[in-house]
Structure 1
């Protein structure tokens, strides 16, 4: 359960501009990273705190409260036996997926060298990789295994909206394919410097599966 906080006056740029209005809602530090976490699905407060290293409990609670107020997230109680609350994005909150994707693409060149102080989670690679795989034009679910952990990507074919989740798809369904690679290779694929098929031929990526999605990943 997040700590209570006293209500504060909402800050605003007070500009009649769509960009300014957007920043009124998501411009505070940590807000878009909370969105990034919730794009993977509903999360408990403790899970959010664990995957946002560096955020204080007070700030996290404050941001979530603000995001509820702005209709970006909702909070609901899980049915027994879980007896826990989770936060999840509203439709308006999920609409920030392209924004996060564009920020990830713009920020990718800054990842040339991993700093000793950098935290890392496997699912942080999901959004840029998902955007790179959308061009395959095939429906299906692919499990992605990195040294740092595992996530899954759900592709919707040409023109569809992809989604992703933390951990393997086996928790919520069955994956159609599985790929294994290291983080540097994942970044190369996400940035367009390397296709999955090229990574397979070069021995940097392993693809498992027999269906259309696995074949597309191999470039067959």
Structure 2
């Protein structure tokens, strides 16, 4: 296996392990547009149930990819959480752009035009 033969590939496989989890890249892509509350994020990515979204957000926060803050302007209402990309999360813009460029260059037009979530 490549990973066993070339220890330098280990960080790549670890990153892929994080990013390949369902909904992770959808969450990151959505937050690249700016901070969002839970419900706004849920609507933006579509199709992800609340329990799974909560799990993914907690995992991304634990990894330092997103940060969670409480909306201080929720006077008299239930406080809501606001999610924002950290600098590490913002760096994923380059990864997402690279994947998009690769797809544009190497995938068929039919595959590219297939609708996707997010």
TM-score (norm 2): 0.75
Unaligned runs of 5+ in 2: none
Higher strand share: 1
Match of 1:63 in 2: 56
Deviation (angstroms), 1:81: 3.8
Q: In the alignment, is residue 38 of structure 1 matched against residue 39 of structure 2?
A: no
Matches within 5 A, 1:1-220: 16=7, 17-81=10-74, 83-108=79-104, 109=109, 110-112=111-113, 118=115
| Structure with bigger RCO (C-alpha 8 Å, 6+ apart) | 2
- Distance in 2 (CA, whole Å) between partners of 1:103 and 1:52 is 18
The number of residues matched between the two structures is 105
Query: Cα gap change, 1:50/1:93 in structure 2, threshold over 3 Å: closer, same or farther?
Result: same
Deviation (angstroms), 1:57: 1.3
Query: Cα gap change, 1:119/1:22 in structure 2, threshold over 3 Å: closer, same or farther?
Result: closer
- Distance in 2 (CA, whole Å) between partners of 1:86 and 1:75 is 6
State the Cα RMSD in Å.
2.5
Unaligned runs of 5+ in 1: 1-12, 125-220
TM-score (norm 1): 0.42
Q: Encode CA deviations 1:194-213: one digit per residue, 9 max, x unaligned.
A: xxxxxxxxxxxxxxxxxxxx
- Distance in 1 (CA, whole Å) between partners of 2:94 and 2:14 is 17
Higher helix share: 2
- Distance in 1 (CA, whole Å) between partners of 2:37 and 2:98 is 26
Query: Cα gap change, 1:31/1:119 in structure 2, threshold over 3 Å: closer, same or farther?
Result: closer
